[in-house]
């Protein structure tokens, strides 16, 4: 049983937690979250803001536009959705 527990722990550690802002919640059980991160430019070595749009599964339609949320990677739910809502921060 310890081997099984260790496998589950390793899988849970790989799941990515991200923080972002909800930009759209017009779809049923789905919201769009904007994730902004800093990346070093290859040539100029300057830090540049890069943002990406992620579709998340919002089971109870709790998110509203402008909310800051914590999301977690999960199995693919549909063609575009592979993240679920963990909780709403603000």
pLDDT in tens, 49-89: 999 999 999 999 999 999 999 999 999 999 999 999 999 99
- Nearest alpha carbon to residue 66 among 20, 29, 6, 1: 20
- When pLDDT is averaged across residues 1-27 and rounded to a whole number, the result is 75
Q: What is the mean pLDDT of the chain?
A: 89
Of the listed ranges 11-20, 26-35, 41-50, the one predicted with least confidence: 11-20
pTM of the predicted model over 0.85: no
What sign does the dihedral 51-52-53-57 (CA atoms) show? negative
Kindly list the domain boundaries of the chain, sorted by start residue.
16-88
Question: With respect to CATH, is domain 16-88 assigned 2.40.50.140?
Answer: yes
Tokens at 89, concatenated: 């921060």
């Amino acid at each position: 049983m310890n081997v099984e527990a260790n496998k589950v722990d390793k899988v849970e550690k790989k799941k990515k937690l991200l923080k972002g802002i909800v930009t759209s919640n017009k779809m049923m059980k789905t919201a769009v979250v904007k994730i902004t991160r800093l990346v070093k430019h290859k040539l100029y070595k300057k830090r540049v803001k890069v943002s990406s749009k992620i579709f998340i599964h919002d089971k109870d339609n709790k998110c509203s536009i402008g909310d800051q949320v914590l999301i977690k990677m999960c199995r693919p739910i549909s063609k575009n959705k592979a993240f679920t809502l963990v909780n709403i921060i603000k």
